[in-house]
Amino acid sequence: MVQSYLRHGPTQAFGLVVSPSANSVYDGKLAYVPALEDVLVWDMKRGQMMAMWHETGLRAEVTYIARSPQTDTFAVGYADGSIRLWSASSKSVIATFNGHKKSVTALCFDATGARLASGSQDTDLILWDVVGEAGLFRLRGHRDQITGIKFLSSYSSSLPSTSAAASAGLILTTSKDTFMKLWDLSTQHCIQTLVAHRAEVWTLDVNQEQDMVFTGSNEGELKAWRIDREALEGGLKEMGDGEIAKAIHPLSTLPLSSQHRVSQITFHPTLPYLAIQSHDRSVEILRVRTEEEIRKKHARRRKRAKEKEAAKGKGKVEDQPEAGTDEKIEVADLFTPYLIARATGKIRSFSFATEEATTKNSTHLFMALSNNALEVYNLPQPTKSKDAIPEATRLYSLDLPGHRTDVRTLCLSSDDTLLASASHGSLKIWNMRTTACIRTLECGHAICSTFLPGDRYIAVGTKSGEILLYDLSSSSLIDTIKAHESTVWSMHIRPDEQALVTGSADKDIKFWGIEWKPTEGGQGQSGKHLSLVHTRTLKMTDDVLSVRYSPDGKLLAVALLDSTVKVFYQDTLKFFLSLYGHKLPVLSMDISSDSKLIVTCSADKNVKIWGLDFGDCHKSIFAHDESVMQVAFEKKSHYFWTVGKDKMLKYWDGDKFENIQKLEGHHGEVWALAVSNFGNFVVTGSHDKSIRVWEKLDEPLFLEEERERELENLYESGLADTMNREDLPIGSGDPSGESQGQTQAETTGVSKQTAETLMAGERIVEALDLADGEREIWGEYEKAKVGLSEEDQAKVQPPPRNAVLAAYDLEPEAWVLRVVEGVQSTALQDALLVLPFVKVMSLMVYLNIWARREWNITLVSRIMFFLLKTHHHQIVANRIMRTTLIPLRKHLRAALLRKKQTIGYNLAALQFIRRQTDAQRTAQFYEEELDEEKVLAKIAEGKKRKRVNI
């Protein structure tokens, strides 16, 4: 009988506030921040997580977040090149765009939110239609990763349009190739290229008036550029010297307080502030002066110069110019240093509050730090008094739900309700049911930890050789024991819960008795507290990396730096076995519940399973692609878990030496592992600062099926990769066409094959085969009836309907439409590219039928135009297609004409309603004074007065 196992799946990921993989967005109340493959929404004032945007099966990291002018929509770019549009209110994906081959590095919406521009590490710039959920075109020109994108929306280009009218406009991009490019979207070409800096350009931003651009480089240089409005509105015009008029001109370089890389430049959306991050821990705020302020400053400067001249007695004061109207305003005069906001850690990104802050005379600056924390600073408004120096004050800080550094050790309480995680600087206790952080305690550089008997105390071994004892009930450090001279690498509780053993880099193994000592409390109260008492020491020949008691309490296993494992009798400490075979030191080990097997994992990437009776090696398994960091047996079984630096968690059968399951999810080296005492789940801690729970599901797992699924996934991803050929950057040319001087086109279509689009294409082919077969059978049936009398026709039996069509009660034409409609709008074009030309001809027949019956005319038009554009040469050369295309043209034109009339009628109705609404608003504005109730009240008052007079 084939053995089955139970599948494990990811259920929780916590301990992460923000990951440094992407930028963050802040609206004044809520912060939208990346958390590896998810996006978290934090309420900064209350310090609570409001939502988690998670898509099942998605493992790629978030690399960029952009908010649409339609404030409910967010565009999120991922490391696999995909872009997802998320709805903040429903917390679900609206659309998925696949076009980039590498990580998305920049996103920007236009002023209306109808178009989205994306840049990537693959050097391409893609423009997406958000409403139509399709890629418009791909622009090539940069030779390195695109780092910044901005739409220039206030210019209406008068150039002749070769594309859809909605695609007009201008885009400004910067890249690590040191260039800044200006693209005209109406002609789909680059109209100006500037060598912006000598080093990589990392950021750009445009001011509110869209007449000035700032760029920042890797060398700490901040440059200002002027946008010539007249040149852009006039189009590409030739100057007198034959040169084309330039739209962007260099202004000057602004001095910064730091010479580090300028990683972000941001203008405040409403207030006159410019924020620049060029230092790891601070953001420099520049204030934008008004023209009047600059004139006054110039006047004061001239006045002081006059006074100095008068004091020295040189020259005539009267000869100095009085007014400074003719004095030119420099960029350095326009931007003046205001204040510097300093964070508590390295800043990954910052954001101004997009909505007005509730507090008056101030604005909020949000910072996402690289050490898993968020901060909001209050920036005061400028005052006229010279004495008050403006300072940025920290308003909110969010750091408790996660560690500042890597999670190095995990341990579970005996009933699996509490989890302790420790890192360099903090020990945190988590409730496993709610995954909430219930305690945060300061600690040194933690290396290992364990719950002590009773689950009220925790012992933590540190890099400095100390054992720290914590009392959970009082949330306090009750004892610090200087146990070793060097790092405490491992500790383990003896199965009888009466002793603790520790192993250290000082080559000592120390044994500690667990005792309860009386505590003298205040006001006559007394109690007991737990303490460790040193009982004996076992000296080894090399550093001790791991120590482990066997569950039956008879043996003690010790892993040394010399790559061996020594096994001793626990009571007498006499030598029993030596396990030799690893090429590099054993980093961790565990003994099965029946004390028969010991499993060791090493930096040599191998896991070895040994028998504890004779010390023979049962099996050596190449387990991970990097060092195997920790191993642990599942209770009451020979199944065990391993984690490694290759970011993987693996599940193994220790009897059959089979890999049961590979679990991907972490984005960094996995350091720590803790297995449930009841075998329900396993917890892992990683370099990416996340703690993940993997629960045992009720779904059975068969090894053969699992291997088949892995091979299928490998084949599908490989097939998609071969269809997405890596194109060379523009200008480099294809080696085959280099001699003819051929280079790639600057503008191409947007397509990228994925496993999903391949599957969708296959579904369309299957539907066409099914429908064609059904129509052929019924066509033969109809032919058989021709020329027969009614009586003979009745005798001819109709063929049985296809089971699928009978189940859904659909005609073949309706079935094909149903399948095509089921394909996601964003993946439809890529799915149609999969179809062979024979199936394209077959689909054209159904398009004609759908157009005649007026079924989903929008979809029919979209498919038809795409197929005609893609297969134009073959369609023109194939005379048989005339019989399909001529009636299709007739039916589609008639259907589109009716649609046009309907839209025109509805548009006229909407315009009429708008005119009515405008008229009512105007009337209401003028008649507000003459409110009906007020008029009636005045009439009533008038009547009363008349009566009184009478």
505/213 Cα distance (integer angstroms):
57
H/E element, 156: none
607/588 Cα distance (integer angstroms):
10
Cβ neighbours around 789 below 10 Å, total:
8
| Structural tokens at position 313 | 């007695």
In sequence order, which residues have a C-beta less than 8 Å from that of residue 592 and are 6 or more positions away?
551, 598, 599, 633, 637, 638, 640, 654
Backbone angles phi, psi at 547, to 5 degrees: -130, 145
207/274 Cα distance (integer angstroms):
9
SS3 sequence of 89-147: CCCEEEEEEECCCCCEEEEEECCCCCEEEEEECCCCEEEEECCCCEEEEEECCCCCCEE
Judged by DSSP in three states, 705 sits in helix
Burial status of residue 528 (CB atoms within 10 A of its CB: 0-12, 13-18, 19 or more): exposed
Question: Does the CA dihedral 379-380-382-385 come out positive or negative?
Answer: negative
In sequence order, which residues have a C-beta less than 8 Å from that of residue 875 and are 6 or more positions away?
868, 881, 885
For residue 58, the number of C-alpha atoms closer than 13 Å in the C-beta half-sphere is: 23
Cβ neighbours around 871 below 10 Å, total:
18
Mean pLDDT per 10-residue interval, the chain, length 950 residues: 82 90 91 93 91 90 93 92 93 91 93 92 92 88 92 61 55 92 88 87 88 86 85 69 77 78 88 85 85 74 78 57 53 79 91 67 87 90 69 88 92 93 93 91 93 91 93 89 93 92 94 82 59 92 94 93 93 92 94 94 94 92 94 93 94 92 92 92 93 92 86 76 56 39 67 82 91 88 79 79 87 91 86 88 89 88 88 83 85 89 93 90 68 72 61
Backbone angles phi, psi at 931, to 5 degrees: -70, 140
pLDDT, residue 361, reads: 64
Strand partners, 214: 205, 224
Contact 508, 544 (CB under 8 A): yes
> Which residue from 53, 74, 61, 173 is spatially nearest to 125, judged by alpha carbons?
173
If you compute the radius of gyration of the chain from its CA atoms, what whole number of angstroms results?
Answer: 36
For residue 397, the number of C-alpha atoms closer than 13 Å in the C-beta half-sphere is: 9
The residue whose two tokens read 């005045």 is 938
| Structural tokens at position 703 | 């090894």
Backbone angles phi, psi at 760, to 5 degrees: -65, -40
641/620 Cα distance (integer angstroms):
15
